[in-house]
Amino acid sequence: MPIYNSDVADIFNEVADLLEIEGANQYRVRAYRNAARTISTLSRNVSDMVEEGEDLTELRGIGEDLAGKIEEIVKSGDLKQLEEIEQRTSPALAKMLDVAGLGPKRVQTIYEELDVTTMEELREAAEQGKIRDLHGLGEKTEKKILEDLERWSAEEDRTRRDVAEERVEPLLSFLRSLDNVGRVEAAGSYRRKKETVGDLDVLAISDAGEEVISRFVEYEDVEEVVSQGETRSTVVFKSGLHVDLRVVEESSYGAALLYFTGSKQHNITLRNMALDRGLKINEYGVWDTTGESSEQKQLAGETEEEIYDLFDLPWIPPELREDRGEVEAAQKGELPSLVTLDDIRGDLQSHTTTSDGRASLEEMAQAAQALGREYLAVTDHSAYIGVTQGLEADELEERIEEIERLNEEMQDIILLKSVEVDVMEDGSLDLPDDVLEKLDLVIFAVHSHFDLSADRQTERIIRAMDNPNCNVMAHPTARQIGKRPAYEVDMGRLMDAALERGCFLELNAQPDRLDLDDVYCKMAKERGLKVTISTDAHGTEELKFIRFGVYQARRGWLSPDDVLNTRSWDDLEALLKR
Mean pLDDT over 482-492 rounds to: 90
* pLDDT confidence band for 294 (50 / 70 / 90): low
First to last CA, the chain: 56
Quote the Cα angle for 531-535-538, to 5°. Answer: 145
Residue 156 has pLDDT above 80, yes or no: no
> What are the pLDDT digits (tens) for 360-387?
999 999 999 999 999 999 999 998 886 6
Residue 68 has pLDDT above 70, yes or no: yes
The answer to whether 423 and 410 are in contact (CB under 8 A) is no
Q: Which of the 8 DSSP states describes residue 325?
A: S
The per-residue pLDDT for 87 is 86
Mean pLDDT over 176-180 rounds to: 94
Residue 149 to residue 280: CA distance in whole angstroms: 42
**pTM score of the predicted model:** 0.88
| Helical residues (DSSP H) of 282-409, grouped into ranges | 304-310, 326-331, 361-370, 393-409
Helices then strands (H, E): number in the chain?
24, 17
Contacts of 260 (CB under 8 A, 6+ apart): 187, 188, 201, 203, 246, 283
Q: What percent of the chain has pLDDT over 70?
A: 97
The answer to whether 388 and 348 are in contact (CB under 8 A) is no
The per-residue pLDDT for 540 is 94
Residue 41 has pLDDT above 90, yes or no: no
Contacts of 215 (CB under 8 A, 6+ apart): 178
Question: CA 102 → CA 93, 131, 143, 145, 512, distances in Å?
Answer: 11, 11, 12, 8, 19
Contacts of 127 (CB under 8 A, 6+ apart): 146
Who has greater pLDDT, 346 or 150? Answer: 346
The per-residue pLDDT for 145 is 84
Who has greater pLDDT, 93 or 413? Answer: 413
Mean pLDDT over each residue of the chain, to the nearest integer: 92
Tell me which residue of 516, 454, 437 sits closest to 489, measured CA to CA. Answer: 454
The per-residue pLDDT for 254 is 96
Residue 405: count other Cβ atoms within 10 Å of its Cβ. 10
Mean pLDDT over 288-306 rounds to: 81
Residue 1 has pLDDT above 70, yes or no: no
Mean pLDDT over 502-531 rounds to: 97
Mean pLDDT over 508-530 rounds to: 97
The per-residue pLDDT for 398 is 94
Tell me which residue of 25, 41, 35 sits closest to 64, measured CA to CA. Answer: 35
